Amino acid sequence: MDSLLLIGNVDPKLTKFMQKAGYALHMKSDSRSIPEIIRDEIIDIVLVEDGEDKQVHEWIEFLRQQGSTKQVPIVALSADKLQTLQIRDQGYEKVELLQMPYSLGTILAKVATLLRMRKTAGLKDNKATLAEVNVALRDLNERHLTEVHEAQSIQNALLPKDLPVDDRFDVAVCYDPLEQVGGDFYMVQKRPSGALQLLSTDVAGHGLAAAFIGSMTKLAYVAVNKDMPGDLLQGMNELMAPVVPQGRFVTANAFLYDPAEQQLYIARAGGPQAALLKQSTREIQCLKGEGFPLGFFEEGEYPTTSIPMEAGDVLVIVTDGLTEAQNRKKQFFGFEGIAAALEQTAPTDSAQQILEGLKNSFQSFLDGRVLKDDVTILVMKAASA
């Protein structure tokens, strides 16, 4: 909260107005004088009128002689035109003169503008000792960590607590956020029909803002409650497009595996292409699909396509933190990296073993290079119908 020092006979209406605007106000009281306030508080801006003890120009001179207020912006209010001219002749820096009578809106706008300019210029003064600064920084850091941990708990609560267990398919998941909270979100859910639904989403960016939009994605998923991937993405986009901030969007891949029909249904919203290993031929297919990212615009369309998925076939779904990762030679891991890892699998490998093999291949590719985005990997292997 920005700190505003009021000096002189400031109108009570103006005082209430500035308080409602969100400023922390300091003024002369029975217990503290203006010099004591300057000594004890960090002041961001001063609003001064003529008072009983000093005139505006005297207060400005006093403030500019104090180390803690030497560079603090001052808004001076005076009805005395001669005094106003005298102050201007002194050439004080960061002093704005306003002739009375004034409007409350004008004062608020002037104060807000000066504060914004001061912050932009990086002139935030700090008269505290090094020990006091360290205490304040530690307190801020602890509060930030508490908020991040709370956000992390909320985000983890949005993810599936347990993966579905069924004799007809095997599922394994890896979720590795770049920071303590991330922009990736996934869902693996067995639908009432017996089909397995898999959804992978990735918010543009990462950190707290991306995690918040990721939470919106989960709410949209629950609200739509559709089986078919295209219908699911269509409904989610209709809910999210009006509320996702400009410049933000969510890429997604949605799948539905029907073990009775041995069919995999696919819809894509700008997410990376998934990979399907056909166990009978050892062919690795690239699963494509058309569709804009979620939240991009309300008229987005997401057609559903389908492909046979037979016993032993393996589906790998990833976010672009994996496909767009680069090694020391500036090469992308890409779909080729996924395919190369799948080629090394054995027909008897479980979903978890396939996932571990892909992760090991990815780490070898990185060769110690630091990730720059969240990474999510979903592996699903079909068993007999």
**One domain for residues 149 and 107:** no
Per the structure, the count of domains in the chain is: 3
CB 369 within 8 A of CB 327: yes
Instruction: State the DSSP H helix or E strand holding residue 55, giving kind and residue range, or none if neither.
Output: none
Cα separation, 293 vs 288, in Å, equals 14
What pLDDT does residue 240 have? 92
Cα separation, 107 vs 75, in Å, equals 8
**One domain for residues 233 and 336:** yes
Q: Are strands 24-27 and 3-7 parallel, antiparallel or unpaired?
A: parallel
Burial level of 32, CB count in 10 A (0-12/13-18/19+)? middle
CATH of the domain at 211: 3.60.40.10
**One domain for residues 166 and 151:** no
What pLDDT does residue 129 have? 42
Q: What are the contacts of 289-294 at 24+ separation with CB within 8 A?
A: 289/253, 291/233, 291/267, 292/237, 293/204, 293/249, 293/250, 293/251, 293/252, 293/269, 294/201, 294/217, 294/220, 294/233, 294/236, 294/237, 294/240, 294/241, 294/244, 294/249, 294/250, 294/251, 294/252, 294/269
pLDDT tens for the chain, 385 residues long, are 788 999 888 888 888 888 877 888 998 887 888 889 988 888 888 998 887 777 888 888 888 888 888 888 888 887 777 777 777 777 778 888 877 777 777 788 788 877 777 665 544 445 444 444 554 565 566 666 666 666 666 666 667 888 999 999 999 999 887 665 667 888 999 999 999 999 999 887 666 777 788 888 888 999 999 999 999 999 999 999 898 887 788 889 999 999 999 999 999 998 888 999 999 999 999 998 788 889 878 888 899 999 999 999 999 999 888 888 888 888 899 999 999 999 999 999 999 999 999 999 999 998 887 777 788 999 999 986 5
Phi, psi of 203, rounded to the nearest 5 degrees? -80, 140
**One domain for residues 67 and 140:** no
**One domain for residues 96 and 194:** no
CATH of the domain at 114: 3.40.50.2300
**One domain for residues 237 and 271:** yes
CB 222 within 8 A of CB 235: no
Q: Hey, how many other C-beta atoms are within 10 angstroms of the C-beta on 150?
A: 11
**One domain for residues 278 and 345:** yes
CB 265 within 8 A of CB 315: no
**One domain for residues 324 and 378:** yes
What pLDDT does residue 175 have? 87
Cα separation, 259 vs 169, in Å, equals 8
**One domain for residues 144 and 190:** no
Parent domain of 220: 160-382
**One domain for residues 144 and 88:** no
Cα separation, 337 vs 364, in Å, equals 11
Cα separation, 366 vs 94, in Å, equals 52
Cα separation, 234 vs 326, in Å, equals 32
**One domain for residues 230 and 140:** no
What pLDDT does residue 135 have? 45
**One domain for residues 35 and 151:** no
* R_g over Cα of the chain: 31
- Single residue among 107, 127, 147 that ends a domain in this structure: 127
Q: Are strands 375-382 and 24-27 parallel, antiparallel or unpaired?
A: unpaired
